[in-house]
């Protein structure tokens, strides 16, 4: 069993990006600039945004965090989006989700200039992905493909089972894995909360991407020998064994599943660090396109 080290691979990609930034600087170019908009103070969102800003600083990107209180109105946020669309200094930006309930995610995401949508969430960018045109790929699926690629995991003709159909992970992942390309070309099954007898599908999987948001959902009896397991879940559970009083677990029951796998991603340190790297890659792409 090989443990897929997302921390190591993300450090490698960040190093490559840092070298590209150095070259841009040497040539007198403009360094890529990412803006992260955070509304309210959801603790998980605060952690994610802080990690994104830190990663930008590490590789020499310019980054700006824009924070607003949870009671800002939808129109006020739309004004922020409009000003970011018009600001030539900003190459790409993200509006961290979830937004407060009184603000429509859809309305805000639709207002983002697709050329600056480095999350790849705008329907224009998702549509380009579906037809195989160059675009910003959603960060988590793109990060997973990068891991498969760097570990040289065979995907052609394999059966990839994706569990979860969210707009930001499961659905785009299923599309990416079915594309005709070197690190895809799979037969894909998309399972979700309404799938009956899900074990019938997971037992057929050569590659399993688990992104349904249920702690320890996938157990050893649900997988065949030598499966590749990618765990997208991340859950905080209480623990008296750590200083912080909690530990992170995924959607996969790692202890029982890992011994059956050819490759598996751990939580933490698997998919998570790759998500940020994809965002940085998209931001570089945004600045190069300009
Ligand atoms: N919330 C959870 N993941 C993400 C992400 O990748 N981008 C944004 N904007 N919000 C998120």
Which tens digit of pLDDT belongs to each residue from 236-252? 999 998 988 999 999 99
Q: pTM of the prediction? A: 0.95
The encoded tokens of residue 249 equal: 């677990």
pLDDT score of 182: 86
- For residues 264-285, give the mean pLDDT: 97
Domain boundaries along the sequence of the chain: 28-115, 139-273
Atom of ligand 1 nearest to the CA of 98: 1
pLDDT score of 290: 79
Closest to 255 measured CA to CA, from 242, 272, 267: 267
pLDDT tens column, 182-216: 889 999 999 999 999 999 999 999 999 999 999 99
Domains 28-115 and 139-273 share a fold: yes
- Cβ atoms of 268 and 283 within 8 Å: the answer is no
Task: Give the distance between the most distant pair of CA atoms in the chain.
Answer: 59
What's the CATH code, domain 139-273?
3.40.50.720
What is residue 203's three-state secondary structure? coil
Residues marked as catalytic: 52, 96, 119
Pocket test for ligand 1, best of 48, 50, 117, 273 (most atoms within 8 A of CB): 48
pLDDT tens column, 33-64: 999 999 999 988 999 999 999 999 999 999 99
Which residue's CA is the nearest one to ligand 1's atom 8? 96
Share of the chain above pLDDT 70, in %: 100
- Cβ atoms of 257 and 220 within 8 Å: the answer is yes
Right CATH for 28-115 from 3.40.50.720, 3.20.10.10, 3.40.50.10860, 3.30.465.10? 3.40.50.10860
Atom of ligand 1 nearest to the CA of 119: 7
pLDDT score of 183: 87
- For residues 139-158, give the mean pLDDT: 97
Indicate if the pLDDT at residue 12 is higher than 90.
yes
- For residues 139-146, give the mean pLDDT: 97
Quote the ligand 1 centre to 97 CA distance (angstroms). 5
Mean pLDDT taken over the chain: 97
- Cβ atoms of 66 and 36 within 8 Å: the answer is yes
- Cβ atoms of 250 and 110 within 8 Å: the answer is no
Sheet holding 187-191, edge to edge: 2-3, 261-264, 227-231, 207-210, 159-163, 187-191
């Amino acid at each position: 069993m090989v443990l897929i080290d997302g921390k190591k691979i993300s450090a490698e990609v960040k190093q490559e990006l840092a070298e590209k930034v150095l070259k841009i600087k040497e040539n007198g170019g403009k360094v890529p600039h990412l803006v992260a908009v955070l509304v309210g103070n959801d603790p998980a969102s605060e952690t994610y945004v802080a990690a994104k800003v830190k990663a930008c600083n590490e590789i020499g990107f310019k980054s700006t965090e824009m924070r607003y209180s949870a009671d800002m109105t939808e129109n006020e946020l739309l004004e922020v989006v409009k000003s970011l669309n018009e600001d030539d200094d900003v190459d790409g930006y993200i509006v961290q989700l979830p937004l407060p309930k009184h603000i429509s995610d859809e309305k805000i995401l639709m207002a983002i200039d697709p050329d600056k949508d480095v999350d790849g969430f705008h329907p224009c960018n998702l549509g380009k992905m579906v037809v195989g045109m160059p675009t910003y790929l959603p960060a988590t699926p793109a990060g997973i493909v990068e891991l498969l690629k760097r570990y040289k995991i065979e995907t052609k003709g394999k059966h990839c089972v994706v569990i979860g159909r969210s707009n930001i992970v499961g659905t785009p992942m299923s599309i990416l894995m079915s594309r005709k390309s070197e690190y895809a070309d799979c037969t894909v099954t998309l399972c979700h909360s309404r799938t009956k007898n899900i074990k019938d599908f997971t037992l057929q999987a050569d590659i399993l991407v688990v992104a349904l948001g249920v702690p320890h959902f996938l157990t050893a009896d649900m997988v065949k020998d030598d499966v590749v397991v990618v765990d997208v879940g991340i859950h905080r559970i209480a623990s008296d064994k750590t200083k912080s009083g909690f530990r992170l677990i995924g959607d996969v029951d790692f202890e029982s599943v890992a011994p059956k796998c050819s490759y598996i991603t751990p939580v933490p340190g698997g998919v998570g660090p790759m998500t940020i790297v994809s965002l940085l890659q998209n931001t570089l792409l945004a600045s190069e396109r300009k």
